[in-house]
Structure 1
Amino acid sequence: MSKYNILVRILDKIRTEAPATYTVKYARNDADIEKANQARARAFIHLYLKVSFGLLDFTEREAFITDDTMDGGIDGYYIHKESKTIYFIQSKFRTTEKNFEQKRIELAEILIMDINRIMDGEENDENGNKYNGKIRQMMHSIREMDDIARYRYKVILLANIENIPQSKLKYLTGGYPVEVFDYELCYNKLIFPILSGTYFNASDLTINIDLSNKNAGSKISYTVKTEHSDCEITLLFVPTIEIAKVLHKYKNSILKYNPRSYLEFEGQKVNSSIRETILKKSTNEFALFNNGITMLSDETYINEKIGQKNKAQLHVVNPQIINGGQTAYTLGKIYEENITKNVVSIFQEKEVLLKIITFIQENGSDEKKSEKVQLIDEISTATNLQTPVIGSDKFSNDKFHVRIQDLLFSRYGLLYERKRGEFGDGAELGYISRERILERNMFFRIYYASNGEINRSIQKKLFLKNQSSIKLLENLNKLDNFYFGYYCFNQLLKKRNQQSKIEKNIYGMVYAMTRLYKPDSIVDYQDVVSDKISIFPHEWEKFTNTISKSDPRYMRTFLDKRTEQLITTFSEVRWYRSNNFEEDILNFYGTDERIFS
């Protein structure tokens, strides 16, 4: 599945979110391809608003989409109060993969944006035609803002554009700065975040607190000195529904420092226990049974004087959950599944312990930032006890693995799972098949096998052993070998008993197929492997015959009970488990010095 096909799946999923009143604009009958593509074009703007500003509700996003006749060249907008910026969006969705990645927007299409005219309060275009209702509503919203003088304007182009300097782009838009989301940026900054649940960062977070049962006040806090930075630790119980809402909105973006994401399958025991305590208990056993959540913050404020009886508010800046991610994410999933029901009653009177670690820094020097990151790593390692953290998890946030993830997605559309469970949402929602999710150790196994290091491909804990092997990323030819080997491996696996153990011979076959069949163009890899997999067994048999006839080291002698005769046969298992297996393959199929140097 290509990245473009993943995009279309996401857009079609957005279309299904449309209430019945929007049936015409977001037609769900794909038999009418023209209407389906028009609907996807509008959904494309929805995608930008969802990822960039965290607008989860369809109706809320739709209010900012102005794309229609007489829209003044503005397809959508958004008033971002935090950054004091008003964004004007122009979008060009292309209905084929080739056009989406290659076709450029015409400069004349940018010129039709009437931003200056609209911002001057003109309700008609130069020809006297009245702008549509959505544009006039935008004008009204801006006109009613008390602090509009503090705002700046920015144009967003969701389109490919020729290489034009910012100065000339500003000239085309009437003097406004422009940010271009070409096809690559759309894949990396819109699609990937949706798949990994990291599409909207929480810069400021407000949590409501119930004081009715807290005799000693809302919190306990004290200051801790460390060798890296002073910290303030705050302990308090917060309503589980508040954590559920946070995770429903921010998902994995608030778990960036957590060594793993939501463990849909591996964490079933813990997740089921959390679910049962929330869904089947009407009292607050959850506060007793659960170990709680640890959150990092740059600034933390608690106000108990908010004009509401028995209520207080917690405000944190740049929050990140580093422990209790399973708890938080499961609460978010429960909230999401019951959002159309009486969700408040499910969480009522159930609370969870929240520990907030606030960093106290005197300045923002690079040295201090480095010390903060080191301290975060140490805290994360020390606090993750509820679900055991395996060794590999501890290195999941290493820059090297982040770089592998970026490269494999941008070049091949593969999802390298450096953190266990991080693409669970994308798979569950049907955006991607689980086959496109690459388990982190499997990447190294296929990489080494396809590049002739077959003995190395079967070693244990390859993810741990390669936590900083930057050389892996320097040779794109080797990475292309891996990608071809990835298709080979999957096809070979389909021909085997899925329950059988993956032995070293399958990695030898991956290398053989890479040497025999790898074409020049990446786009042909999947088709070539599908075509050659049926004839490969014959090629492999020719190779094994040369070994079985010439090397006595792999012969096995046994007594035939029926004839009581000694029988000597070639043991393929003994051969591929030997240290000579790799050498035999390389001698037969050869190596490319340019690739394997």
Structure 2
Amino acid sequence: MSIKEIVTPENTDQITFNGKIKKLQQTLSKLPNSNLYTFKVIILANLSGSETKKGNAAFTRLLQGFKYEIFNYQRTYDELLLPSISGTCSQPGEVTIPLTLKDNEVPQATNTIKTIGGNCTVSIMFIPAMQIAQMMHNYRNALLIYNPRSFLGLRKGNINSTIRNTIVKKNTNEFALFNNGLTIVTSGSSFNKSLGSASKAQLILEDPQIINGGQTAATLAQIYDSSDRYSLKGKEVLVRVITFEAEDTKRKKVIQQLSEATNGQTTITDGDRHANDPLLDTFKKSIFRDFAMLYEHKTGEFYEGVVVKKHVPKDQIVDRDDFLRVAIAMNGDPGMARSGGKKNLYAQHFFNAEHQMNEQEQEKSARKYMYGYFVLRYLKTKSKQLKDLQDKYHRDKYGYALRYGNYAVVSVCARFRPNNLSAESTQEKAEQVCESVLSHWKEFENEVIEKRSTNRDFDFANYYKTQTVKEDINSTQIKWLDE
């Protein structure tokens, strides 16, 4: 491999590189202080034996002595693909915020708080809005790991317009009084006034995370990205910096509790309120590994990869609300899956059984529910095909299955999912079973009419929201699968 010739192109007159390599060389040539960098080759491959002495020698010879690192499929997903899609590539390991002090100013108030996770230091200070905007602009979702909403989700809503107007339409600093400010947690922080000037100081934050005030930070970043950037000058934000002394596990537990407490006072969707549940992270990893699809448990979490970079088509995103409703239907309650409001679903039916399982069992549940998700997606696709203005939902052929009975169909199809079904065969099997079940659906609805009503204009819109549908599915003698 011609790695030396790529990174040091002085003596490569006899080698012709393609356009991508030339573009890489141009980018490298523009690096400031390039002599401060070291090079490492990243190999994307599922390799075995590379860590042996013989394997290491072979790679060293092949790569002209350059250091290297191998990323298998799991590391590629966890450390490269997912961060790129979710906008968390740039991690805020250490952030330095320059501050300007006025005469005899005491820039911060500090106190030590004892918690169940150990002691933490709390500092309160005003920080230039421009610095917060720059930080959020640079790191986006990487600053919101413990926040129930993503960067995109935080930029929506009327509250953001109010925040923006207070900054953009005022020349004075009322924003510092009107806004509630930010809460940032860190693993370490320091405040330094010894910079050779009485008017200068700096705040250093290690591993910062915004757990409250994300809307403020996201709106400031939005202003920073616009032509109104100048309006941030002279504006300040009240910031509470919490630095934990506890070890990582205990610190995360307290941070999670703190996030839930502070964000419980603001309007957040029921789905976002559960966004940081560890179970959902297990689902996300399992679904990607088995089906190459992305389970979105924060609103707009994959906006960077889907809309901005176009790495992933929209149909590869698993909708969290649909996924939860599918789980409820597959566990035998299609009426609740269709009728339940989001607040009720997340409060009372949020994967109750899975929370009692170990991680391996949770992964099996994710695979099971993806079978139902493929059934639901097939039904939605089918309802869009061959549109007939006189029969929009193909009622003549499928009854009300495609309009009101989606989750009832999912519930029936769940009965015919083989226990040993492989991930590779899941979608095909789900669609095959669904097609067979649909072919008998009018027969099922005719049974319901005979059993439940003397009126041929039976109200299926409400029927599919009731517990009665579960009873009828359980009692029917229909042979759903064609021989």
So what's the TM-score if we normalise by structure 1? 0.63
**Equivalents in 2 of 1:265, 1:320: separation in Å?**
15
Q: How many residues align?
A: 442
User: Equivalent residue for 2:398?
Assistant: none
| CA deviation vs aligned residue, 1:228-266 (integer Å, no higher than 9, x gap) | 311111111111111111111111111111122236489
User: Equivalent residue for 1:359?
Assistant: 244
Give yes or no for contact 1:412–1:483 (8 Å, CA) kept in 2. no
| CA deviation vs aligned residue, 1:101-156 (integer Å, no higher than 9, x gap) | xxxxxxxxxxxxxxxxx8xxx9769x998999959x88x999955xx9xx8x7431
User: Equivalent residue for 1:331?
Assistant: 220
More displaced stretch, 199-208 vs 477-486: 477-486
Distance 1:141 1:430, change over 3 A: closer
User: Equivalent residue for 2:406?
Assistant: 506
Ranges in structure 2 where 5+ consecutive residues have no aligned partner = 394-401
1:402 aligns with 2:292: no
Say what the alpha-carbon RMSD is for the aligned residues: 4.3
Give yes or no for contact 1:286–1:351 (8 Å, CA) kept in 2. yes
Letter of the structure 2 residue corresponding to residue 580 of structure 1: T
Letter of the structure 1 residue corresponding to residue 3 of structure 2: G
CA shift at 1:480, angstroms?
4.1
Letter of the structure 2 residue corresponding to residue 313 of structure 1: Q
User: Equivalent residue for 2:144?
Assistant: 255
User: Equivalent residue for 1:94?
Assistant: none
User: Equivalent residue for 2:56?
Assistant: 170
Letter of the structure 2 residue corresponding to residue 584 of structure 1: D
Distance 1:210 1:445, change over 3 A: same
CA shift at 1:186, angstroms?
3.5
CA shift at 1:446, angstroms?
1.6
User: Equivalent residue for 1:29?
Assistant: none
Give yes or no for contact 1:400–1:469 (8 Å, CA) kept in 2. no
User: Equivalent residue for 2:447?
Assistant: 546
Specify which of 187, 190, 202 is matched with residue 80 of structure 2: 190
| CA deviation vs aligned residue, 1:314-365 (integer Å, no higher than 9, x gap) | 10111111111111122223223x3xx573x23111111111011234xx4x
Letter of the structure 2 residue corresponding to residue 228 of structure 1: G
**Equivalents in 2 of 1:232, 1:483: separation in Å?**
46
**Equivalents in 1 of 2:232, 2:304: separation in Å?**
23
| CA deviation vs aligned residue, 1:564-595 (integer Å, no higher than 9, x gap) | xxxx6544346434433124335456699xxx
Distance 1:180 1:451, change over 3 A: farther
**Equivalents in 1 of 2:261, 2:426: separation in Å?**
47
Specify which of 105, 117, 123 is matched with residue 228 of structure 1: 117
Specify which of 59, 69, 73 is matched with residue 3 of structure 2: 73
Alignment of 1:397-476 (within 5 A): 397-429=276-308, 431=310, 432=312, 434-450=314-330, 452-458=332-338, 459-460=340-341, 461-464=344-347, 465-466=350-351, 468=355, 470=357, 471-475=361-365
Letter of the structure 1 residue corresponding to residue 84 of structure 2: I
CA shift at 1:177, angstroms?
5.6
Give yes or no for contact 1:166–1:178 (8 Å, CA) kept in 2. no
| CA deviation vs aligned residue, 1:176-219 (integer Å, no higher than 9, x gap) | 6642234554344323222222222211110111224x753221
CA shift at 1:507, angstroms?
0.7
CA shift at 1:426, angstroms?
3.7
Give yes or no for contact 1:197–1:253 (8 Å, CA) kept in 2. yes
Give yes or no for contact 2:173–2:236 (8 Å, CA) kept in 1. yes
Give yes or no for contact 1:196–1:422 (8 Å, CA) kept in 2. yes
Give yes or no for contact 2:175–2:236 (8 Å, CA) kept in 1. yes
Specify which of 35, 54, 69 is matched with residue 179 of structure 1: 69
**Equivalents in 2 of 1:583, 1:312: separation in Å?**
70
Specify which of 242, 260, 274 is matched with residue 131 of structure 2: 242
Specify which of 362, 378, 385 is matched with residue 257 of structure 2: 378
1:584 aligns with 2:482: no
Distance 1:492 1:510, change over 3 A: farther
CA shift at 1:276, angstroms?
1.8
> What secondary structure is seen at the aligned counterpart in 2 of 1:474?
helix
CA shift at 1:401, angstroms?
1.3
Higher RCO (C-alpha 8 Å, min separation 6) = 2
> What secondary structure is seen at the aligned counterpart in 2 of 1:166?
coil
Ranges in structure 1 where 5+ consecutive residues have no aligned partner = 1-70, 78-117, 558-567, 593-597
